[in-house]
Structure 1
Amino acid sequence: MSSDLYPVTRLAEVKEATLRSGLGALLLTPGPDLRYVTGYEAMPLERLTCLVVPAAGEPFLVVPRLELPAAEHSPASRLGIEFVPWDETDDPHALVAERLGAVGSVGLADRMWAMQSLRFREAMPGAEQKLAGGVMRELRMRKSPAEAAALAEAGAAIDAVHELVPQFLKAGRTEREVGRDIAEAIMAAGHATVDFVIVGSGPNGASPHHELSDRMIQTGEPVVVDIGGMMPSGYCSDSTRVYSVGEPPAEFAAYYEVLKQAQEAACAHVRPGVTCESIDAAAREVIAEAGFGDYFIHRTGHGIGLETHEEPYIVAGNSELVEPGFAFSVEPGIYMAGRHGARIEDIVICGETAGERLNNTTHDLVIV
């Protein structure tokens, strides 16, 4: 794993951020926060693995003894921290509490299982529990050049899959059959996992998070294809394109052109110093002016990195200023319930002066 992608200096940055936050410690269990800090993709188990980052004192990693070899062979071994193994008859939550000592508050990883957080509450009844996300978001939102490169690699990989989609789409095939082909292509393009495959044909395209079904694709139907996965680097891809099996209905073709303009306007608006909500507004205004405002039913985008959905969110009410290194989707949609729908999605990363698309396949409606 690239030392540039998971630098050893990151742990010190997290420790400093913990101190500034006023928390006594961060408790990071398996998930994206732990991987961000250590590079260790620990297996989520009922047995506790936890990186403890005190505001005062040295960080340490608590691991089940049977997971110790995996931890020692992971990038976490480069950090020079103590690994604290525990045995089957030990209480690891009490072990953390004892080593940590009296603290007024702890930040729990946002993805920590409830069973772990409740056991920490029992072990440390005097410590107020808060979310570690309040500390981690400030670091994770600002992608380093190495992270930007990893996201660009993910974008190119999912673009390669979209280039293959037209050969999978044929009248008479089911969404599930097409989805199976796409999932195989996602892996073949270099992803480590397939995170999602949405194939929304005809009226199913009006459901943004439609699940694959046995519905048969018909001639003359638009098909929304939203796909993504995680690369070996840990960084994610996510891109949506729209296809049509034969010529689509005239009303669809008309609002698809509006959608293209809206997505282009939002991408062009991205630059340092604009607010997240203004990017949402740039897309929404185009769609509303064309009379389709009621059919754009979700936010314009979400951050992306070690998670497909993370901070920042491109939505009304988010007045956060965009900074260089912020990476997020720009994905307006128009959905006509019971008929059809469309969404165009690119991942965009903010540079020093403007946004850069990490997805570069055509935005035109692809007729197959």
Structure 2
Amino acid sequence: MTQKYEDRVARLTAQVDVDMVMITDPMNVFYFTGCFIEPHERMLALLVDTKTKETALMFPALDQEVVNDTATADVHLPYNDGEEPFNQLFEHMLEAESIGIEGGHVTYNRYQKLLENYTADQVVSVEDSINSLRGQKDEDDKKKLQEAVDITEKALYDFVKEPVAGKTEKEIAEFLLERVKAYGAIDVSFGPLVLTGEKSAMPHGEPGDKAVEPGHFLLIDFGVVTKDRYVSDMTRTFIIGEPTEEQRSIYESVLKANAAGIEKSQVGTPMHELDDAARSSIHSDGYGDYFTHRIGHGLGLGLHEAPSLDAENTDLLEKGHVITIEPGVYKTGFGGVRIEDMLYIDEETEVLTTFPKAMEAITLEA
């Protein structure tokens, strides 16, 4: 297991042009060391010497036991409450003339502390390199992501076993949370987002006291966090009772777009082409104005990682990318449909989610 983290450090040092990298995002620290600490307001920093590949972990002393048990860092730099961690940090970085940071994570106050010892030209962001590395998954990652998907789908299968009419959005969300934890998840990756009736037209609405009724769309978007901290993300939209002509039309349009996006999800494809394919399909059905977000995103240890599958991204899909394909149509005052799957990009792309999505499978008894 240690080799896995050493390889990640080596890949990072080969990509960046700085003397030292200072990593402060707890999930990135976990990615490179196997140690997860939530420091809250305290300082957490993994220091990587790009020449020697030596790693040093600065952390609150109260987390010493966790570090001892899990961290692969070569050097431990604990500090006590009341001590100024930057004093020890600067001492460890004494020989470094340039520092790489996560530009989107380091706070203004901490950046100002760095400027006490370095000029602005000496502090650069290496966030793109870190994000790119996290975007590449191997077979072990895929196995752990599949575990997250399996837990999610088991909970959803439990949900559809019983009649749903009369249950509130909050009750459904609480049921799903209870079931995923029963199957081994340590938490949900978000939500669960449960929206019924006209509320299903809100891409990021909040579950409330609205009850499921015959004739409703019921949109459920959720995922889990496993014990290994891998996440899932899946959406299925159900129809309660016999679908109306318009419900059927919208649902089939989104399903067709979902299939078009998946078909385009191949090694070497420019990422915008996935969005283009799904958007073109929905537009041809007359619902183009109601598809208001990108086709998908990467995920792994985080719910939203590289790559971004938006209409402007010309980067190519690569082996090891894990992405979502999630087209949607959201018609205010009527309701909305989103269908979301997780994919592992390989020589033959694998769809990790298997929960049924055909019309007959998602039509539930009123």
Find out whether 1:135 has 2:129 as its counterpart.
yes
Partner of 2:307: 312
- Contact 2:229/2:301 (8 A) holds in 1: yes
Query: How far apart are residue 61 of structure 1 and its match?
Result: 1.0
Partner of 2:148: 154
Mapping 1:19-58, distance limit 5 Å: 21-57=16-52, 58=54
Query: How far apart are residue 113 of structure 1 and its match?
Result: 4.8
Aligned match for 1:95, one of 88, 91, 99: 88
Q: Secondary structure at the match of 1:73?
A: helix
Give the residue type in structure 2 aligned to 1:8. Answer: E
Unaligned runs of 5+ in 1: none
Partner of 1:259: 254
- Spell out, residue by residue over 1:11-38, the C-alpha distance to the aligned partner (whole angstroms, 9 max, x if none): 2222222xxx223322112422111111
Indicate how the Cα distance of structure 1 residues 124 and 46 shifts in structure 2: closer, same or farther if over 3 A, else same.
farther
Whole-angstrom CA distance in 2 between matches of 1:160 and 1:4: 32
Give the residue type in structure 1 aligned to 2:81. Answer: E
Query: How far apart are residue 336 of structure 1 and its match?
Result: 0.4
Give the residue type in structure 2 aligned to 1:191. Answer: A
Query: How far apart are residue 122 of structure 1 and its match?
Result: 4.3
Q: Secondary structure at the match of 1:43?
A: coil
Partner of 1:237: 232
Give the residue type in structure 2 aligned to 1:92. Answer: P
Query: How far apart are residue 218 of structure 1 and its match?
Result: 1.6
Partner of 1:193: 187
Partner of 2:203: 208
Indicate how the Cα distance of structure 1 residues 189 and 112 shifts in structure 2: closer, same or farther if over 3 A, else same.
farther
Mapping 1:1-368, distance limit 5 Å: 3=1, 6-17=4-15, 21-57=16-52, 58-74=54-70, 76-77=71-72, 79=73, 81-101=74-94, 102-108=96-102, 110-122=104-116, 124-125=118-119, 128-167=122-161, 170-195=164-189, 196-352=191-347, 354-365=348-359, 366-368=362-364
Whole-angstrom CA distance in 2 between matches of 1:124 and 1:87: 25
Give the residue type in structure 1 aligned to 2:178. Answer: E
Indicate how the Cα distance of structure 1 residues 168 and 53 shifts in structure 2: closer, same or farther if over 3 A, else same.
farther
Q: Secondary structure at the match of 1:308?
A: coil
Instruction: Between 244-253 and 140-149, report the one with greater CA deviation.
Output: 244-253
Unaligned runs of 5+ in 2: none
Whole-angstrom CA distance in 2 between matches of 1:156 and 1:290: 33
Instruction: Between 269-278 and 104-113, report the one with greater CA deviation.
Output: 104-113
- Contact 2:5/2:31 (8 A) holds in 1: no
- Contact 1:227/1:238 (8 A) holds in 2: yes
Q: Secondary structure at the match of 1:9?
A: helix
Give the residue type in structure 1 aligned to 2:11. Answer: E
Q: CA RMSD in A?
A: 2.0
Give the residue type in structure 2 aligned to 1:240. Answer: T
Query: How far apart are residue 106 of structure 1 and its match?
Result: 2.5
- Contact 1:242/1:343 (8 A) holds in 2: yes
Query: How far apart are residue 127 of structure 1 and its match?
Result: 5.7
Give me the TM-score of the superposition, normalised by structure 2: 0.92
Query: How far apart are residue 345 of structure 1 and its match?
Result: 0.3
Whole-angstrom CA distance in 2 between matches of 1:130 and 1:340: 46
Whole-angstrom CA distance in 2 between matches of 1:346 and 1:135: 26
Indicate how the Cα distance of structure 1 residues 5 and 104 shifts in structure 2: closer, same or farther if over 3 A, else same.
closer
Give the residue type in structure 1 aligned to 2:282. Answer: I
Give the residue type in structure 2 aligned to 1:83. Answer: H
- Contact 2:20/2:98 (8 A) holds in 1: no
Give the residue type in structure 2 aligned to 1:275. Answer: P
Whole-angstrom CA distance in 1 between matches of 2:120 and 2:331: 53
Q: Secondary structure at the match of 2:129?
A: helix
Query: How far apart are residue 222 of structure 1 and its match?
Result: 0.9
Whole-angstrom CA distance in 2 between matches of 1:304 and 1:5: 23
Query: How far apart are residue 86 of structure 1 and its match?
Result: 1.8
Give the residue type in structure 2 aligned to 1:164. Answer: D
- Contact 1:27/1:109 (8 A) holds in 2: no
Whole-angstrom CA distance in 2 between matches of 1:35 and 1:264: 35
Whole-angstrom CA distance in 1 between matches of 2:280 and 2:120: 50
- Contact 1:262/1:284 (8 A) holds in 2: yes
